[in-house]
């Protein structure tokens, strides 16, 4: 199989983002056929906190596993590259490139998992704060309305 057939992570991620944006735009930029625009329709965008928690949990678990298991061969690969290079084998530089390539991509994956996990935790906490503020504002408005009547 030709390696040119594979997409880079950035290409695949860009395609997935574009497809998600297209699906979201179709859901949020339309109204039901009956002309209503209110909530409760089948096309409403709903994200449950449990859903976010599961994604955040998976990202956190993957981060832990990648940090541990993704680094297992690092030192032996580097040692092999050094030994091959010191033994005047041309393949030593190739093994070192594989080592460096893996380390770079492992760091990218670790960073991505951490960002997903941290962002979802932040979003969940911020959403709870926003809910509390809206509830407080509505309570104050209700009290003022009753007082004025």
Q: What local confidence, expressed as pLDDT, does residue 76 receive? A: 93
Query: How confident is the model at residue 44, as a pLDDT?
Result: 47
Comparing 52 with 139, the larger pLDDT belongs to 139
Instruction: Give this prediction's pTM.
Output: 0.50
Q: Which of 16-20, 38-42, 132-136 tops mean pLDDT? A: 132-136
As a whole number of angstroms, the distance between CA 149 and CA 139 comes to 16
In the numeric block, which tokens belong to residue 34? Answer: 């009956």
Assess contact for 76 and 83: CB atoms under 8 A: no
**45 or 68, which is more confident?**
68
- What is the average per-residue pLDDT within 87-93? 94
Q: pLDDT: is 34 or 144 the higher one?
A: 144
**Alpha-carbon gap, residue 1 to 6, rounded angstroms:** 9
- State the pLDDT confidence band at 29, using cuts at 50, 70 and 90: very low
Work out the mean pLDDT of the chain and round it to a whole number: 77
Q: What is the pLDDT of residue 141?
A: 81
Distance (Å, rounded) from C-alpha 78 to C-alpha 147? 75
106, 65 contact by CB (below 8 A):
no
| Distance between CA atoms of residues 81 and 90, nearest Å | 10
């Amino acid at each position: 199989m030709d390696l040119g057939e594979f997409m880079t992570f950035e290409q695949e991620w860009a395609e997935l983002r574009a497809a998600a944006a297209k699906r979201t735009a179709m859901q949020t930029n339309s109204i039901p056929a009956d002309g209503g625009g209110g909530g409760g329709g089948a096309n409403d965008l709903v994200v449950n906190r449990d859903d976010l928690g599961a994604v955040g949990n998976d990202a956190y678990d993957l981060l832990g596993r990648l940090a541990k298991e993704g680094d297992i061969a690092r030192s032996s690969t580097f040692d092999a590259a050094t030994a091959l290079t010191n033994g005047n084998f041309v393949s030593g530089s190739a093994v070192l490139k594989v080592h460096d390539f893996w380390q770079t991509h492992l760091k990218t994956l670790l960073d991505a998992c951490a960002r997903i996990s941290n962002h979802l935790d932040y979003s969940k906490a911020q959403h709870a704060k926003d809910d509390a503020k809206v509830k407080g504002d509505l309570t104050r408005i209700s009290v003022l309305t009753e007082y004025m009547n």
